[in-house]
Structure 1
Amino acid sequence: MSALTCLLWLICVAVYDFRKRRVPNWLVLSGAILALAAIGFGAQPFGVSWTAALAGAASGFVFLLLFYATGLMGAGDVKFAGALGLWVGLSALAPIWIAASLLAGAHGALWFALQRWALSPRLALVLSGPPSEATGGIAPSRARFIPYAAYLALAAAAWMAWGRQS
């Protein structure tokens, strides 16, 4: 049952991040609490121990914190990576990060190509995300148009379906 809970949480994060280009604290916190409850009640669906979960949370948070510090990533992405680490543990984070980074890279390359060659302005608009309300609908100069948490969530869902079989 808790694998389904994790999957539903991942779907909520992906949809929210794709639509709003942010991951709210309540969504990150609910996933972290659910992961801790699953471990505490012995219902952890992926066989992750307390040690592996805490190591996954710490490494997910700290590693992506470097990207946040340089302005390349939003805080929600960083916090989500920490909460995701609680669910999947340290050993699963590397393949999930690699898959998510490849997806995010493809997103960025497609967005860049559509900016250069306006074959589909509507698709370019979808890839860049909604305009920021804080700037009056004008995209800021350093907009974070890649929904990295959404790609982490998709990669984690794929890992749940296929990656754990080994």
Structure 2
Amino acid sequence: MTLLGLLAIGICLRIAISDLYARRVPNAWLLAACALAVPLLIAGQVTTPRLPWLSHVGAAALGLVALLPFYAVRWMGAGDVKFFAVLGLLLGMQALLPVWVVASLAAGLHALVVLMSRRLGSMLPLGLQVQVSRASSQWQTHPALRDMQSARQGRRGIPYAAYLAIAAIGWILFRAYGGFS
């Protein structure tokens, strides 16, 4: 596994946790990843085999441009778009499509589960609806959930950056240990 791969795993873990907990993708972490990636890409030009820096820089640009329309129509947060660009910088062009496909499928499944759970709730027998409502109200008062809701500051939606992070970690591990080169 390369240093860029290790850096990518580290930033992916941090972003996944932040997105799941607070629905935030901190710019400071994205900038730090870029600040560490650029010297590694430059150093990779004097080692053997040479790192294909153009693939990494091109992937960063493509990652940004590919998801920007989704931000423009407000289907995605700016942090998700910037994180995908950083993943492009860290992992290169060959990672973008598989990471995007897996993350998008996971996000689609998440959305389907949310929509189905809303519909199923009204179809339950009345006694079960009361039990679900009681359990839900107890859960809403749990301190951990209140802290998480406070950290989210009203932000809602699917944690797409977390799905990108999980897909990227899977891609890195597959390439390093179980896949083709």
TM-score (norm 1): 0.80
2:109 is equivalent to residue 106 of structure 1: yes
Aligned to 2:170: 158
Map Cα deviations across residues 13-48 of structure 1 (whole Å, 9 max, x no partner).
11111111120110111122222122122299xx75
Aligned AA (2:149): P
User: What CA distance in whole angstroms lies between the structure 2 residues aligned with 1:48 and 1:149?
Assistant: 26
User: 1:4, CA displacement in angstroms?
Assistant: 2.4
Three-state SS of the structure 2 residue aligned to 1:104 is: helix
Larger helix share, 1 or 2: 2
Aligned to 1:136: none
Percent identity (aligned):
38
Aligned to 2:95: 92
Aligned to 2:17: 15
User: What CA distance in whole angstroms lies between the structure 2 residues aligned with 1:40 and 1:6?
Assistant: 17
**Aligned pairs, how many?**
152
Structure of higher RCO (CA pairs closer than 8 Å, 6+ residues apart): 2
2:164 is equivalent to residue 149 of structure 1: no
2:74 is equivalent to residue 71 of structure 1: yes
CA contact (8 A) 1:48 1:89 kept: no
What stretches of structure 2 of length at least 5 have no aligned partner? 125-131
What stretches of structure 1 of length at least 5 have no aligned partner? 134-138
User: 1:82, CA displacement in angstroms?
Assistant: 0.7
Larger of the two Rg values belongs to structure: 2
CA contact (8 A) 2:8 2:91 kept: no
Aligned to 1:36: 38
TM-score (norm 2): 0.74
CA contact (8 A) 2:8 2:87 kept: no
